[in-house]
Amino acid sequence: MPPSAQPPRVRFAPSPTGFLHVGNARTALYNWLFARHTDGAFLLRIEDTDLDRSEIRHETQLMEDLLWLGLDWDEGPGVEGPHAPYRQSERLGIYREHTDRLLTEGKAYRCFCTAEGLEAERHEAATAHKPQVYSGRCRAISDADSAARAAAGEPFAVRLLIPDHPLCFHDMIRGEVEFPSETVSDPILVRSSGIPVYNYVVTVDDALMEITHVIRGDDHISNTPKQVAIYEAFEWKPPQFAHLSTILGSDRERLSKRHGATSVASFRAMGILPEALVNYLALLGWGAEGGTRELFSLEELVHEFRLERVTASPAVFDFEKLHWLNRHYLKAADPERIAELAWSHFVSAGLLPSHTAAWQVTTAAVEAWFGKLLALFLPAVSQLDDLPVKAAFVFRFNPSAAHTGDENAAILATDAAQKVLAAFSARVEAHSGPVTPDQFKAWMNEIKAETGAKGRELFHPVRIVLTGSHSGPEFDKLIPIIEEGSRLSLPVHVLGVRERIEQFMSNSR
Ligand code: GLU
């Protein structure tokens, strides 16, 4: 950027009609990164002119989602700036003034065509194999007639008079884009209901808010020539455009709910960390200069991000890779933060209490215990909501399922297993006080010598008794978790070693 140039101004302009999904979140991220990299400004503008579909809860949620991702705005709702208001529903007066200006200058005209009339015209064009665009018939109405009909209360839309030269723009990602004007037709700016349309308000706002770069999804490419024509009509300099490629699912169809979670809120609820999602979204269509590097913090992305390195080809959303990044950040993050987040997933699963006053009494002991539980299970999960599932057997041991589950029945049916379990049970019964990992190890050595069982024969039956499954975490770590857990007061009583073997043996009789 030459030193004299104004710093760039970009915006993220969501419609609050649903959840913020990954496509829009990536658009927001790229805008934010571009602004932060160039010391520019990042604006948030709420495009809520579709009053039937816009909801305040969606607006609130999407702002929460942006902040959760670490994307703050320099101007927008809550951060009023020189171009306020930043909600389109509060700018209707501004659009009206601009419409009057276009009508007065003869750049736009009133269109009195009815829906039926337009439909008939489209049908005719289709039959004649011509482009189904508006014929422009109301262009011919004189100014005086037009004003009189409007004054008499006849409903009308306002249309832009499209120039008859091709409409082109330079796209920073795709290069030159050109649309012949006959494929554009005279676009409606204001509907007969009085509500201005997206293409119109977006252009007026981008111009008035001094947006220098419009970075958005490529679903808006076909809108851009209309917007370019609106800039022309107002004699405004258009911004630079950069259209981001579509995000596809693994089947190479446009990413949608069919492919699973797509909203930022659902990733958050699953226990994907914001730094993992941001890192992942950054890589969906962008790569750093000259490298295969894939791990980037938000600050590193600010440093590295260049629009020129954004690719025009569609990006395929890869859950595996997101999981890989999430596992990386789960490991790298501050353990206290992860413990707090993980805890809430156990609360949702009904396994641990929410942080109430009553619970505070046991907080230190429970927290220490929970730390061990996490150390054991965290490396085995890709997202935090998998934790309660992985750790379920700690909280809910089901002796009858342990007998029949998976390949358990076959393992337990062997003579060796019977002998091992009888010997193990006898030792636990004769023991008082907690079972330590050392104690457990000593018993297993004794049982090995006594029964001649070794390896799987020795360990699988005992593991089934303690966990319900013949495969699972190391005993050294597991034993303290179930023993200590059994002495804590938790909403779900954790069974200790003794209770497990007792329930298991009585269930087999
Ligand atoms: N409200 C539009 C959308 O959510 C914004 C498009 C644009 O960035 O121009 O798709």
Full residue range of the structural domain in which residue 433 is found: 397-508
Q: Does ligand 1 have an atom closer than 6 angstroms to the CB of 224? A: no
CATH code for the domain in which residue 470 is found: 1.10.10.350
- Local confidence band at 4 (pLDDT 50, 70, 90 cut-offs): low
pLDDT of the residue at 182: 66
Which of 217, 244, 271 terminates a domain? The answer is 244
Rounded distance, CA 286 to CA 305, Å?
A: 8
pLDDT digits (tens, 9 = 90+) for 155-194: 999 999 998 888 899 999 999 999 877 667 899 999 999 9
Can you name the residues that pair with 170 across neighbouring β-strands? Answer: 176
Report how far apart, in Å, the C-alpha atoms of 422 and of each of 94, 233, 284, 483, 505 are.
84, 90, 57, 20, 9
Rounded distance, CA 77 to CA 89, Å?
A: 12
pLDDT of the residue at 326: 98
In a domain, 491, yes or no: yes
User: Burial letters for 285-312: b for 16+ Cβ neighbours within 10 Å, e otherwise?
Assistant: bbebeeeeeeebebeebbebbebeebee
In a domain, 33, yes or no: no
Token pair of 440 as six digits? 């457990």
Residue to substitute in 12, 15, 222, 231 for testing ligand 1 pocket (most ligand atoms within 8 angstroms of CB): 15
Atom 6 in ligand 1: which residue has the minimum CA distance?
Answer: 13
Q: How far is the CA of 281 from the centre of ligand 1 (A)?
A: 18
User: Which is catalytic among the residues 130, 257, 331, 454?
Assistant: 257
CATH code for the domain in which residue 171 is found: 3.40.50.620
**Strand, coil or helix: 454:** coil
**How many folded domains does the chain comprise?**
2
Q: Does ligand 1 have an atom closer than 6 angstroms to the CB of 9? A: no
In a domain, 156, yes or no: yes
Atom of ligand 1 nearest to the CA of 11: 8
Atom 4 in ligand 1: which residue has the minimum CA distance?
Answer: 14
Residue to substitute in 10, 12, 198 for testing ligand 1 pocket (most ligand atoms within 8 angstroms of CB): 198
Which of 244, 265, 282 terminates a domain? The answer is 244
In a domain, 346, yes or no: no
Q: How far is the CA of 411 from the centre of ligand 1 (A)?
A: 60
Token pair of 117 as six digits? 């009339």
Pairing of strands 9-12, 157-160: unpaired
Atom of ligand 1 nearest to the CA of 219: 10
Kindly report the backbone phi and psi dihedral angles of residue 92, in degrees, each rounded to the nearest multiple of 5, phi listed first: -60, -35
Q: How far is the CA of 457 from the centre of ligand 1 (A)?
A: 63
Token pair of 384 as six digits? 């935090």
Which of 228, 244, 260 terminates a domain? The answer is 244
pLDDT digits (tens, 9 = 90+) for 243-287: 999 999 999 999 988 888 899 999 999 999 999 999 999 999 999
The arrangement of strands across the sheet holding 167-171 comes to 41-44, 9-12, 213-217, 240-244, 167-171, 175-179
In a domain, 488, yes or no: yes
In a domain, 2, yes or no: no
In a domain, 10, yes or no: no
Rounded distance, CA 85 to CA 459, Å?
A: 68
Rounded distance, CA 77 to CA 84, Å?
A: 8
Residue 448 catalytic?
no
Rounded distance, CA 159 to CA 108, Å?
A: 5
- Local confidence band at 87 (pLDDT 50, 70, 90 cut-offs): very high
Element (H, E) at 179: strand 175-179
Let me know: does 483 contact 365? Beta carbons within 8 Å: no
Q: Does ligand 1 have an atom closer than 6 angstroms to the CB of 15? A: yes
Can you name the residues that pair with 452 across neighbouring β-strands? Answer: none
Q: Does ligand 1 have an atom closer than 6 angstroms to the CB of 456? A: no
Atom of ligand 1 nearest to the CA of 202: 9
Q: How far is the CA of 101 from the centre of ligand 1 (A)?
A: 25
Atom 3 in ligand 1: which residue has the minimum CA distance?
Answer: 14
Kindly report the backbone phi and psi dihedral angles of residue 332, in degrees, each rounded to the nearest multiple of 5, phi listed first: -80, -20
Q: What is the mean pLDDT of residues 418-439?
A: 96
Rounded distance, CA 439 to CA 483, Å?
A: 12
Q: Does ligand 1 have an atom closer than 6 angstroms to the CB of 46? A: no
pLDDT of the residue at 509: 60
Cis amide leading into 225 (omega within 30) = no
In a domain, 270, yes or no: no
| pLDDT higher than 80, residue 378 | yes
